[in-house]
Structure formats: structure tokens, C-alpha cells
Amino acid sequence: MNKGSEFSRRGFLKTMAAVGAALTLNPTINKVSAANTVLNGSNDSVVKKDGMEYRVLGSGKAAMEVSALGLGCMGMNYNRSQSPDKKECIRIIHEAVDRGVTLFDTAIIYGPLRNELLAGEALAPYKGRVNLTTKFGHEVIDGKGTGRQDSSRATVRRYCEESLKRLRLDTIPLFYQHRFDPNTPVEEVAETMNELIREGKIQRWGMCEVSADTIRKAHAICPLTAIQSEYHLMHRLVEENGVLDTCKELGIGFVPYSPLNRGFLGGCINEYTVFDVNNDNRHTLPRFQPEAMRANTRIVNELQNFGRTRGMTSSQVALGWLLHKAPWIVPIPGTTKESHLLENLHTLAFNVTDSDWEALEMAVAKIPVVGDRYNAEQQKQVGY
Ligand SMILES: NC(=O)c1ccc[n+]([C@@H]2O[C@H](COP(=O)([O-])OP(=O)(O)OC[C@H]3O[C@@H](n4cnc5c(N)ncnc54)[C@H](OP(=O)(O)O)[C@@H]3O)[C@@H](O)[C@H]2O)c1
């Protein structure tokens, strides 16, 4: 049994108990009012109404209750090739709110700046009722990313003020450090977060792609609400490097980004897919080269086979597997399509046994993953 299964059993039972309750109330995921959320301060998942499940990221003063699935806004105008116009993206974001989604993810570097502007405009009517999270760290000068990191106190304070304006918020519900800064000690970053929380500029904070050691140092100075790192059936590093164990021990939530492996596990991408070289980083990633995608299609086939007899799509299998791992895990799939949004949210309606998830996990683990997730330059920015 690997470390992942330690997360699976308790999380699965809680999740399925919650989903079962939801199904008793209503068999479909209906439109709900996002205003009906209350912090309960515990680490258990809770069902509010109409089939949407809510979970708690973090604990104590750092706790934040959010929908069990969030929406990643990045691909609506950055790094995921062509997308619909702004009006349609805003309509999809509003649809997500209507369906009970209360966690929306963006970052200063997405665009740069354009994605924050889009998310800010879309969610302005729901100010104070949903959580729009953003990230600092990548240096942006005159609207362009420099490729450097800057998490120094003065810069982060300035970025925070600028993000507040673009997001049309008085306070940021959760402000993540996007990548570690080799020139700014983690203790200094955590102190800056304490200042911003005291001043009411941010409510909580989180970190992306950092080691267990860094998480401990940061959390001791300013309690973390969530760690956001890549995690899905083709990339399970956080199970092995102590990050999930540390989150569990310290009561920190975990937000898996790219939960569909940048769309690959959805089954709509293959070796013939052409990415827009001007607006899609996937063409630079080893795992998205044609040879790698051809080999890795075996993994998508495994998910499709698993889903076929259960009436699930491969995306729902991928998201369901993450959700069952622990009740403090909240994936943030991105999409530009209403149909995919509804498909992904419908994941919460399925009932899969613990042993079935384990069988899937073992079947997938037997298939070698071809190609690294990042190229050398991007790998250097990850703090492991
Ligand atoms: N912290 C970090 O360093 C970091 C890094 C990357 C991403 N993120 C965050 O994570 C979010 C999600 O990541 P991501 O966009 O890289 O990857 P993802 O969520 O794994 O995949 C998104 C892709 O999957 C496709 N998709 C979504 N639902 C689908 C479905 N049901 N069937 C088939 N395809 C489907 C989307 O295409 P369609 O538009 O056609 O649906 C989109 O291109 C981002 O928006 C961002 O907020 C954070």
C-alpha cells in the first residue's frame, strides 16, 4: 500500500457520506445561491444544499469554507490556446456561481494582469459571497513577466494593492506565493503576510510548489490556509515528498492545480493536437510532445475504461479520484466551456467504492508516464 492510500480511506468515507446526503436531498446538481456558506471551522466536508458539497481549507483563524470543486480562470485568456470572448467567459463564471462554486483562481502573471481583470469584472457582483484567490511572486514590469521572482516585502505590498484594484476587492480572500523567491527568505514572506492580514488587505495566505520544510517554516510564522501544487493521476509527487502528510498534520488545505493534467486526462487532446504557440505553454512541456502524448494515451484509456461501466467521463474519474483522497482537498479544474463546467461539477454525484478507486490507482501506476511535467527552466522555479 502506498502513502496515497492513507489519504484515500478516511477522505473517501467522508466524501461519500456527504455525497450520499446530497443525493438524498436532490439527485442533480442544481443552481444554488452561493451566499449560503458558513465557516464551520472543522476539517470535515459538509453539504449545504442541492448537491453542492463544501469543504474547509485550513484551520483555526486560517480556515476558509469553499465549494468542493473550484474554477481555475487562467485558461479563459491565458496559456490554454484560443478561448471564447470576454462576455462568454463571464457568463461561464456566473454559471459556476449559480451552481454553487465559491472558489475561483487567478494570478498576477496570468495574462499578465488580464486574467485578474477578467475574474475581477466577472465576480464583482458577488463581492463578499465568493472567494477569488490570486498569486504574487513572478516579477511583472509594465505588464510583462520578466522571468524573475520577487517576493520582497515592498514588492509584495505593491502587488497586493494593485491586485485589489484589478480584482475590485477590498480584501483578498487568499493570497498565494506563486513560486519561491531565492532572494527572499520564507520567514520574510510570512511576516509580510502577517502585516497584510493585520491591515485587512488579505484574509489568508497560501504557497505553491514548496517543500514540506518550507511549509513548516512559513506556517510557524503565519498560519497557511492552503498549499496549491500540481497533483493528479499522472503526477503524484506530493504524496511522496511529505507535502500532503505535512498539510494533514498541520491542518492546512490542499488545492491541486491542473487536476486534469492541463486537459490531457479529459481525453480531448492527443498527439495531433496543435497548441497556439503564442498563448499556450503546453507546446513547451515535455509531456505534451507528440511522442509523449501518444504513449500517455494509455492512461486516458484506463480512465475511460473505468468510467464506462459507471457512466463517468475520464474528467470525472480524474476529479473524483482527487476528491476521494481527503476532505481537505479542493481541485480547481479550468474550462472555457459550459458543458465541461457542468460535467466536472457532476463528479460530486457519483458513488465509487474505496476499493474501486484503489484498483484504478494501481492500474494507472503500472503505466509509465512519458515526459517530464516541466522543462528545465520551469523546473528550476519549483521549490523541491
Ligand atoms: N499554482 C500554479 O502554479 C498553477 C499552475 C497552473 C495552473 N494553475 C491553476 O489551475 C487551474 C487549472 O489548471 P490548468 O488549466 O492548467 O489545467 P486543468 O484544469 O487540468 O485542465 C484545463 C484544460 O482541460 C480542459 N477541460 C476541462 N474540463 C474538461 C472536460 N470535462 N473534458 C475535457 N477537457 C476538459 C479545458 O479545455 P476546455 O476549455 O475546452 O474545457 C482546459 O484546456 C488554472 O486555471 C490555474 O488557476 C495554477
Q: What is the domain range of residue 282?
A: 3-380
Q: Is the CB of 73 under 6 A from ligand 1?
A: yes
State residue 334 phi and psi, 5-degree precision.
-105, 150
User: Residue 123 pLDDT > 80, yes or no?
Assistant: yes
Q: Supply the residues annotated as catalytic.
A: 110
Identify the pLDDT of residue 380.
83
Q: d(Cα 35, Cα 6) in Å, to the nearest integer?
A: 34
State residue 145 phi and psi, 5-degree precision.
-75, 140
- The alpha carbon of 284 is separated from its chain's Cα centroid by a whole number of angstroms, namely 21
**Cα of 72 from ligand 1 centre, angstroms:** 6
Residue reference for cell 485589489: 164
The total domain count for the chain is 1
Total-model pTM? 0.90
Q: What share of the chain is helix, strand, coil (3-state, %, to 5)?
A: 45, 15, 40
Closest among 215, 284, 342, 282 to 80, alpha carbons compared: 282
At 33, is the pLDDT very low, low, confident or very high (cuts 50, 70, 90)?
A: very low
Q: d(Cα 30, Cα 91) in Å, to the nearest integer?
A: 17
- The alpha carbon of 286 is separated from its chain's Cα centroid by a whole number of angstroms, namely 22
Q: Exposed, middle or buried by CB within 10 Å (0-12, 13-18, 19+), for 329?
A: buried
Q: d(Cα 45, Cα 56) in Å, to the nearest integer?
A: 7
Give the strands of the sheet with 175-177, arranged side by side.
71-72, 103-105, 131-136, 175-177, 205-208, 226-230, 253-257
Q: pLDDT digits over 174-186, tens only? A: 999 999 999 999 9
With the most atoms of ligand 1 within 8 angstroms of its CB, the residue from 260, 300, 332, 341 to mutate is 260
Which cell is 124 given? 464583482
Residue 41 sits in a domain whose CATH number is 3.20.20.100
Region 21-46: mean pLDDT is 38
Q: Is the CB of 206 under 6 A from ligand 1?
A: no
Identify the pLDDT of residue 376.
83
Q: pLDDT digits over 37-96, tens only? A: 333 334 455 555 567 999 999 999 999 999 999 999 999 999 999 999 999 999 999 999
Q: Is the CB of 282 under 6 A from ligand 1?
A: no
Q: pLDDT digits over 259-281, tens only? A: 999 999 999 999 999 999 999 99
More confident residue, 299 or 1: 299
Q: Is the CB of 263 under 6 A from ligand 1?
A: yes
Q: For the stretch 194-212, what's the b/e string if a residue is b when 16 or more beta carbons lie within 10 angstroms of its beta carbon? A: eebbeeebbbbbbbbbbbb
